[in-house]
Chains A and B, each alone.
Chain A
Amino acid sequence: MSEVVWSARDCTPDKIETALRDLLHTRYEEHQGYVPARVLNMVAIVDREWKGEIQNRLEGVGRYHASRTILVAVEPGRTTLDAWCSLHSDVDLVGPGQLALTHEDIEVDIGPKHVANLATIVDPLLVRDLITIVWSPHGHDDAVDVLLGLADVALLDSVEDLDVAAALERVAELAARAYVVDLAWLRSTPWRERIAANFDPPYLRPALGQLSGVTVRHRSDSTAAALMLVGWLASRLNWQPHALTHRNGAREGKLRGRRGEVNVRLEGSDLSVPGLAGVTIDTAHGDEFSLDRGPGGLTAYRRTRDGKEHRWTVLGASRGERGILGEGVRQALLRDPTYRPALEAARTMLS
């Protein structure tokens, strides 16, 4: 690892920007092979107290590290800006003809009084013409709101707020103003892929019009993820969503499909990580397909109407929570048109 750093107390965005430019210049003079990454900016707004934890999470994303990361730490009572900048590469270049990708990390400690004008602090620090992603894992909705004018993408995790309705309401509000990358949605990607794959053979596609039941098992704090999965099915298969009701510790309800009602049930489950534990899909003809977490991938199970049963492993390594955050950063460069319809359907099921 090779790194050059700069820091200052009681500084201004202009000084930080000048220091960054000087660091880049120095770095280039040191060795012309230090090439700055130019993919995306990431702005993370965090509580000063928990800054270290977020730094660790960001370090864990590996190759998905943003080209320039601006970590804004909000500290109660602070009235001045302190800043620290680092240009770092995985390798130390010595000889000619070598290349090393350089990433830039900036940390700015601010006080609550700075939040209202945070855009004027962050704007000069962004690399121009790159996609900018904003992430605010400790709340600070007010800071996100003022930065949305600068940002293209809002990164969030809709399962972080225990008030599911409020969480999805906030997501919808953000989605109207920026592209949203939701980590809860990304955790469900393998599930969505495998459900889609199960019904992909042409002879099984008609069954998509005959689904009669969907049961989603989820960690108790991941109701939003379960709702989004059902919302995805509803929006893709033209089911009319309705509000679900609480019954026996689960949420239940009936959605109107093209050829009849679809029973939906969301059940809490013991799971050590956020997200989904399993899903079971039934058809009106008595077929059942389910997926559950298992070693080496998802364990799939199919029971056909004549009683035949099959169980197999759908291969795939777990990304882990670090991998999910990295995937969130990567997804900032892509667009998934199915998220917002799924979100709207999920919100209707909560109404």
Chain B
Amino acid sequence: MATVTEENPLTEGLERLPVHPTTLVIFGATGDLARRKLLPALYNLAHEGSLPERFNLIGVSRSEKSDDDYRAEMRNAIEQFSRTRPSPEVLDALLENVRYVPGTFDDPAVYDALRKQIEEFDAQADIVFNRVFYLSTAPEFFPVIVEALGEAKLNRHKDAEVRVVIEKPFGYDLESARKLNRRVLRVFRERQVFRIDHYLGKETVQNVLAFRFANSMFEPVWNRNYIDYVQITAAEDLGIGSRASYYDKAGALRDLVQNHMLQLLALLAMEPPTAFNADQVRNEKVKVMHAIRPPTPEEVPKLAVRAQYGAGAIAGEPVKGYLEEDGVPPDSFTETYAALRLTVNNWRWAGVPIYLRTGKRLPRKLTEIAVTLKPVPHLAFHEGGSLGVQPNELILTVQPDEGVSLTLGAKIPGARMRIRPVNMEFRYGTAFLSQSPEAYERLILDAMRGEALLFTRDDEVDALWSIIDPILAAWKEAGGPIPQYPAGSQGPEEAEALLEPGHHWRKL
């Protein structure tokens, strides 16, 4: 056991580790993300007793309102969106230490008011709270807020940890991401910066690491000798809804591939870290990113496909095409579908195609990683009618129906040696009693604890954009119109051209 002055010996055996008293400041406190995700996540942490022993929240937003008005809005959002039914006593106690600061994000007076409120919390409690600034605003305000925090000297404190959490998207392309990184890192040190990709907070995404590195049976086949190809899919049946103004500027490549899907790829392809800590894990992920050679402009048409959904049907109901959606310019050539073929050029993965595809208005919502192994080298019982023999496939489903399945060839009962694929399945819901926390609960708590493993480091952001940027540039150069696929279909036919002989897109 450690001496009491060095470590806290009372934390041994506890599931919920102490978090230093914290004042959390949410910029964009009245926005959709705050209402639907952040405030309910905070309530759930409070409900479970996971928030810091002492916790204050300050909402910052443009609209003028009182503390009480904001508390009422917060109560309403929590009651509407919390995954657990709120306990009135816990909610009341949480709201007691909530304050609101109105104003525009470039107004120095906002930061004066903010500092005054933060210091008032410190004085009342007679302790110095850690400060976490959560930027849940439109991306153009990220540098504005960061620099204003620096101007107001709220970026450091001699007796407290100060951290900044930055929502996605982090940049619009490589250049803008680098510029944003420079501006952020002029004010905060990298260890203070927590760039959110909420996908990394999902239990099933983290399970990719557990699955790979806690089971010795997969490592021997986890390489180019045994793996034929990998397919990562993030499909949605929904359209763009009311997000036209954001989505038409972003497109599928920026919205999902640049962050979530490349993160999945990195977790799938990385080498085992020497230790499960933020720097070691992120070092290995960055190595994978660097091993993916960005395509040249000439290569882009052969390695990347984009398309837009046209009119079609989802769940038996007719739906509009992308260009008919409210708020979308009729001449837009923003892609709602993107598919890529990438290769990780290192000893383990050389020559293994890794296919990525994402799209809206596809037949179902599904995120999965499918690893297809090479076929057996010789089939002794082919004569017996073994046409059903298929390569083994390992499927890691991220959502919905989180789990892992493995297809194996098995003998069909009967006198003849006939084979067909059967599934060996593991589903999260059948094997654990606990309910997975929302990704934001985990991420907010980690940011308050200073645990950066599930956040994106500056060089990681750079590496992610470096892969995507040439494709964005080539597509911009090529202009439109772009291929269409009917809503509810499997996607554009053009995506078939990305596949090497013998490979196929998994049916959605």
- Cα–Cα distance between A208 and B2 once the two chains are bound (Å): 12
A206 and B4 contact, CB distance less than 8 A: yes
Q: How far is the CB of A310 from chain B (nearest CB, A)?
A: 6
CB-based contact A196/B8 at 8 Å: yes
The answer to whether B4 and A317 touch across the interface, beta carbons within 8 angstroms, is no
Q: Does B92 contact A (CB under 8 A)?
A: yes
Q: Contact mask A322-333 → B, CB, 8 Å, 1/0?
A: 000000011001
Please name the residue on chain B nearest to A298 by beta carbon.
B49
Q: A209-B5, A312-B54, A315-B93 are in contact. Are A193 and B18 (CB under 8 A)?
A: yes
* Nearest CB in chain A to that of B50: its residue: A316
Q: How many residues of A contact B (CB 8 A)?
A: 53
What is the chain B residue whose CB lies nearest that of A332? B433
- Asked if B430 and A198 sit within 8 Å, CB to CB, the answer is no
Q: Which of B1-51 contact A (CB under 8 A)?
A: 1, 3-16, 18-21, 46-49, 51
A101 within 8 A of B: yes
A312 CA to B21 CA in the complex, in Å?
A: 12
User: Contact partner of A39 among B14, B20, B21, B430, CB < 8 A?
Assistant: B430
Q: Is B410 an interface residue (CB 8 A)?
A: no
Asked whether any CB of chain A lies closer than 8 Å to the CB of B274, the reply is: no
Write out, one digit per residue, whether chain B residues 390-413 have a CB within 8 A of any chain A CB (1) or not (0): 000000000001000000000000
Does A276 belong to the interface (CB within 8 Å)? no
Candidates A40, A206, A300; contact of B53 at CB < 8 Å? A300
Asked if B94 lies at the interface with its beta carbon under 8 angstroms from chain A, I say yes
Q: Known contacts A63-B433, A209-B5, A295-B93: does B48 contact A316 (CB below 8 Å)? A: yes
Tell me if A96 counts as interface (CB < 8 A to partner B). Answer: no
* B90 located at the interface, meaning its Cβ lies under 8 Å from any Cβ of chain A in the complex: yes
Residues of chain A contacted by B432 (CB below 8 angstroms): 39, 333
Number of A-B residue pairs with CB-CB distance less than 8 Å in the complex they form: 136
Which of the residues A194, A195, A296, A304 comes within 8 Å of B93, measured between beta carbons? Answer: A296
Kindly supply a per-residue 1/0 record for chain A positions 56-83, scoring 1 wherever the CB is within 8 Å of any chain B CB and 0 otherwise: 0000000110010000000000000000
CB atoms of B431 and A208 under 8 A apart: no
For the residues of A in contact with B, the DSSP-based class is mixed
Q: Across the interface, do A38 and B430 meet the contact criterion of CB distance under 8 Å?
A: yes
Taking the complex as formed, is B388 at the interface, i.e. its CB lies under 8 A from any CB of chain A? no
Number of interface residues of B (CB under 8 A): 48
B55 within 8 Å of A by Cβ? yes
Residue of chain B at shortest CB distance from A299: B93
A120 within 8 A of B: no
Q: In the docked arrangement, what's the CA distance between A192 and B10, Å?
A: 8
Q: Which of the residues B5, B127, B430 comes within 8 Å of A205, measured between beta carbons?
A: B5
Tell me the complex Cα distance, A333–B433, Å: 9
Nearest A residue to B47 by beta-carbon distance?
A: A317
Contact call B1/A64, Cβ cutoff below 8 A: no
Q: Is the CB of B47 within 8 A of A337?
A: no
Tell me whether B126 and A308 are in contact (CB under 8 A): yes
- Assembly CA distance A339 to B126 (angstroms): 34
Residue on A with the closest CB to B434? A330
Q: Which residues of chain B have C-beta atoms less than 8 A from A205's C-beta?
A: 4-8
Those 9 A-B pairs whose CB atoms lie nearest each other, nearest first: A316-B49, A296-B93, A196-B10, A197-B18, A338-B13, A296-B89, A200-B18, A315-B46, A208-B4
